[in-house]
């Protein structure tokens, strides 16, 4: 396993991985992921991130149960037989929802807060860290993706994991070695000309 790929190669080829091998992930690789997460910026440099590494089967089973319920609530009634890109994404996301308990490691990214309401500003202090982790996973030959359907059961998850009141969960990152059917990038994204303006909204790039 090599982490010597270039930065832009990682950015351009990192994609959501939802199919995993059952092989265990060494602790030193998980440590590298978390360390990469701690190199991210945060509001006021407060570095309020915390990470729970979950490998216990019974705990993963409980979390996976909540996650699958969240998936059913959000997407279970949608037609799975579409043929476009979103249908393929949905099928892989459905697979993850059904097999979350089998993923070798679940990494829960959390953020400490002052008790105020959850805001975009709070997220800005944890999601750069999550992106660092996803890029580091790509560099280490691991797969992962950003999920958050567990948050429909935030209170239950926090009780299960002993998370204190002044901490909010932000993302549940499944981590493992990608299955042989999975491949990294390139990703499909809208071109810059469709998402960027010059000087004023609507003015072409």
The CATH number of residue 116's host domain is 3.40.109.10
In a domain? residue 83:
yes
- What average pLDDT does the segment 25-33 reach? 98
Q: Read off the pTM.
A: 0.90
Is the model's pLDDT at 37 over the cut of 60? yes
Q: By residue range, what is the domain housing residue 65? A: 7-195
Bond preceding residue 186 cis, omega within 30 of 0: yes
Examine residue 202 and state whether it is found in any structural domain, yes or no: no
**Structurally, how many domains does the chain consist of?**
1
Q: Identify whether the C-beta of residue 147 lies closer than 8 Å to the C-beta of residue 75.
A: no
Please check whether residue 200 lies inside any domain of the structure: no
Range in 27-31, 76-80, 113-117, 173-177 the model is least confident about: 76-80
Contact criterion met (CB below 8 Å) for 151 and 169: yes
Flag whether 1 is in a domain. Answer: no
């Amino acid at each position: 396993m090599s982490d010597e790929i270039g930065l832009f190669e990682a950015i351009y080829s990192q994609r959501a991985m939802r199919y995993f091998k059952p092989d265990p992930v060494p602790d030193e690789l998980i440590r590298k992921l978390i360390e990469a997460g701690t190199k991210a910026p945060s509001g006021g440099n407060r570095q309020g991130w915390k990470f729970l590494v979950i490998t216990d089967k019974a705990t993963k089973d409980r979390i996976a149960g909540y996650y699958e319920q969240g998936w059913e609530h959000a997407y279970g009634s949608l037609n799975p037989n579409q043929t476009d890109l979103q249908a393929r994404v949905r099928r892989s996301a459905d697979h993850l929802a059904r097999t979350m308990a089998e993923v070798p490691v679940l990494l829960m990214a959390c953020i400490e807060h002052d008790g105020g309401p959850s805001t975009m500003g709070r997220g800005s202090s944890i999601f750069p860290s999550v992106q660092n982790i996803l890029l580091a996973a790509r560099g280490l030959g691991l797969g992962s993706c950003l999920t958050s359907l567990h948050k429909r059961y935030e209170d239950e998850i926090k009780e299960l994991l002993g998370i204190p009141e002044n901490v909010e969960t932000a993302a549940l990152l499944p981590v493992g070695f990608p299955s042989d059917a999975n491949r990294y990038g390139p990703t499909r994204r809208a071109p810059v000309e469709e998402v960027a303006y010059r000087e004023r909204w609507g003015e072409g790039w």
